[in-house]
Amino acid sequence: MARDTIEVTVTFPLAAKPFHGDFDGSASILTVRNAAMKGLGADEEAGSVFYLSHKDQRVPDERLLRDIADHAQGLKFRLVKELIQG
Amino acid sequence: MTDAESALNLKSDESDVAAFLEERGGKLIPDESDNGMYWLLLRPSSDQSQEYVACVRWDRYPQRPPSIKFADAIKGSLANARAWPSIPGYRPGSFDICMPFTAEGFALHAEWNSGPQSWRTSGNPFLWVASRLQDDLNSVRYSGRVA
């Protein structure tokens, strides 16, 4: 059975360049987010929460990439850093 | 007014901010009299009929975070609590955002100047601020306009 490889681009305003990577459709959003955060130089830290946003909708970490892609071969996300203190 | 180098840096970054806002029904309007000041029209995704006007003023860009206040219109009053969205950390009573992406927040919390909350100058900090405002308006933490 053919693997469903999906080209992923993740942008983050505080990074100089977007993150690009190829992932199997069975990869979780958490897997993609972790790889993107590493590539974008973003670290988990107290007082903030990171998540991926697709079409301005927060995507839960547990979802699978293929469920978001809906047969598309490429996906674009934004890495969002939500500040939770105030 | 900001210095010439900051103005050049802002010019370089503002097109990405304008595109980001326009994709979401908003707009970026540079102030005519202050080259470090911008008016941002923002609409929450849950209610596009609501429009907020954020006044973002940069002192030195990208070295320092901006002052951010909400106005009741472009070039309008910055002292109208009804102009503010209701979001934790946004404080219409004191007309500030007490979070680590505003000058007001860093002035209140000196401890944010070091460690993970410190102001970052990499990438496009103006886009970071605009997306922070937009994402807060889009989040479940937003509960409408201040009554």
Q: B interface mutation test: which of A14, A49, A52, A57 has the most B CBs within 10 A?
A: A14
Q: Are strands A74-83 and A5-11 parallel, antiparallel or unpaired?
A: parallel
Domain residue spans of chain A: 1-9+31-86
Q: Report the pLDDT value the prediction gives residue A3, as an integer from 0 to 100.
A: 64
Predicted confidence (pLDDT) at residue A69 exceeds the cutoff of 80: yes
How do residues B84-123 score in pLDDT, each as one tens digit? Answer: 999 999 999 999 999 999 999 999 999 999 888 899 999 9
pTM comes to 0.94
Q: Determine the pLDDT at residue A85.
A: 64
pLDDT at res. B147: 86
C-alpha distance from A72 to closest chain B C-alpha (Å): 21
**Superfamily holding B4-138:** Ubiquitin Conjugating Enzyme (3.10.110.10)
Which residue does chain A place closest to B87, by CA atoms? A86
From chain B, pick out residues whose CB is under 8 angstroms from the CB of A53.
Answer: 135
What is residue A2's predicted lDDT score, i.e. its pLDDT?
Answer: 55
Q: What is the pLDDT of residues B50-68, one digit of tens each?
A: 999 999 999 999 999 999 9
Q: How many beta-carbon pairs below 8 A join chains A and B?
A: 54
Phi, psi for residue A19 in degrees, rounded to 5:
-95, 135
pLDDT confidence band for A12 (50 / 70 / 90):
very high
Burial class (CB in 10 A: 0-12, 13-18, 19+), B88: middle
CA B118 to chain centre: 17
Neighbour-count burial for B126-138, b at 16+ CB within 10 Å, e otherwise: bbbbbbbbbbbbb
Structural domain boundaries in chain B = 4-138
**What is A1-9+31-86's CATH topology?**
Ubiquitin-like (UB roll) (3.10.20)
